[in-house]
């Protein structure tokens, strides 16, 4: 079968190659991929790929071989899935607990835009706790996670201030329910009960300074790729007794299929709206990855297989 493999070359980060078709484990279904999405974080990993790396975590397609242990879809079914690797290919083996059935009302392109960003947003808000009536500051709001967090948090009753440098993107976030959009964390007017920080660099200290006493700052990324310098004496100038915690979307592990089913349901009922900035044939994957890395794509980028 055909699949994309990393090259280590920033100018052409992946090439299409012939690889062996996957042999599913007992708890895995074989999915014929119809569409997959790429994430900006994946572009960074392509800079120094490990031997044998096969990227790809967000897929939608058709189950052509159900799992041998009887779990998951028992027949041919349209699905969205979140394998840990290997999704940029004609076929991928996906654990059945990382699959959800895709209804006919949603396209493969819509489905492929959901997994990583959507699961991260759902679990990030669970980690933050109840948000109804609380003030939330979200940095790095221009990405896929920021889009989903804004819409989900606003729908749950939060007052969301989104930080994004992109004015057009900011207008879109206001349409999703953000109460305010600023272009720098230093311009936000606190205090905030919850800060969701994914930029790093100078954004984290600026966001911390706007956290309420006893509030919570959750760090879930470093999109700026700039290390953070933090002076803990800053806690005494406002956010006394505040909490800083790190978040990873796979902690705790498991339950991906349930979260995918939630995302599918919310999208199918018009309560969640994936922002898809580019759809292209998978022959153009290398160019799309470069554009995504260099911030020339707003929203999710989805590749389709002919």
pLDDT digits (tens, 9 = 90+) for 119-167: 999 999 999 999 999 999 999 998 899 999 999 999 999 999 999 987 8
Count: domains in the chain = 2
pLDDT digits (tens, 9 = 90+) for 216-267: 999 998 888 888 888 888 888 889 999 999 999 998 767 899 999 999 999 9
279 and 297 in a common domain = yes
108 and 182 in a common domain = no
The answer as to whether 236 is a domain residue is yes
The answer as to whether 259 is a domain residue is no
- For residue 222, what is the domain's CATH number? 3.40.50.720
Which domain covers residue 16, as residue numbers?
Answer: 2-114+274-304
Q: Provide the whole-model pTM.
A: 0.95
- For residue 46, what is the domain's CATH number? 3.90.180.10
Overall average pLDDT of the 94-108 stretch: 97
Cα–Cα distance, 46 to 267 (Å, whole number):
30
The confidence score (pLDDT) of residue 255 equals: 82
The answer as to whether 53 is a domain residue is yes
Cα–Cα distance, 249 to 220 (Å, whole number):
8
128 and 16 in a common domain = no
Helix (H/G/I), strand (E/B), else coil: 89: strand
99 and 152 in a common domain = no
Cα–Cα distance, 133 to 192 (Å, whole number):
11
Query: Which among 181, 184, 176 has a CA at the least distance from the CA of 224?
Result: 184
Overall average pLDDT of the 100-125 stretch: 97
Instruction: Tell me the pLDDT band of 188, cut-offs 50, 70 and 90.
Output: very high
92 and 184 in a common domain = no
pLDDT digits (tens, 9 = 90+) for 72-87: 998 889 999 999 999 9
Instruction: Tell me the pLDDT band of 168, cut-offs 50, 70 and 90.
Output: confident
183 and 80 in a common domain = no
Cα–Cα distance, 295 to 40 (Å, whole number):
9
Of the CA atoms within 13 Å of residue 94, those in its CB half-sphere come to 37
293 and 235 in a common domain = no
165 and 232 in a common domain = yes
């Amino acid at each position: 079968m055909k699949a994309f493999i990393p090259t280590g070359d920033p100018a052409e980060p992946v090439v299409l190659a012939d690889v062996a078709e996957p042999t599913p484990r007992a708890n895995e279904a074989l999915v014929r991929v119809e569409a997959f999405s790429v994430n900006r974080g994946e572009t960074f990993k392509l800079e120094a790929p490990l031997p044998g790396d096969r990227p790809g975590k967000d897929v939608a397609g058709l189950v052509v071989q159900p799992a041998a242990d009887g779990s998951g879809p028992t027949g041919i079914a349209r699905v969205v899935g979140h394998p840990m690797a290997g999704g940029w290919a004609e076929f991928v083996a996906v654990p059945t607990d990382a699959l959800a059935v895709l209804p006919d009302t949603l396209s493969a392109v819509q489905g492929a835009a959901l997994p990583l960003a959507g699961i991260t947003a759902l679990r990030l808000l669970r980690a933050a706790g109840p948000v109804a009536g609380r003030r939330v500051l979200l940095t790095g709001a221009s990405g896929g996670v920021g889009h989903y967090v804004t819409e989900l948090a606003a729908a749950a009753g939060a007052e969301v201030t989104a930080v994004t440098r992109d004015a057009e993107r900011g207008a879109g976030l206001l349409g999703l329910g953000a109460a305010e959009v600023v272009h720098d964390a230093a311009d936000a007017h606190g205090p905030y009960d919850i800060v969701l920080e994914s930029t790093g660099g100078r954004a984290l200290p600026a966001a911390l300074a706007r956290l309420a006493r006893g509030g919570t700052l959750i760090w879930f990324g470093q999109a700026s790729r700039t290390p953070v310098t933090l002076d803990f004496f800053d806690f005494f100038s406002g956010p006394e007794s505040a909490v800083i915690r790190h978040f990873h979307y796979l902690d705790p592990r498991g339950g991906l299929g349930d979260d995918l089913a939630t995302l599918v349901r919310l999208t199918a009922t018009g309560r969640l709206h994936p922002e898809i900035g580019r759809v292209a044939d998978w022959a153009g994957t290398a160019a799309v990855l470069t554009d995504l890395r260099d911030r020339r794509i707003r929203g999710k980028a989805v590749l389709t297989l002919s």
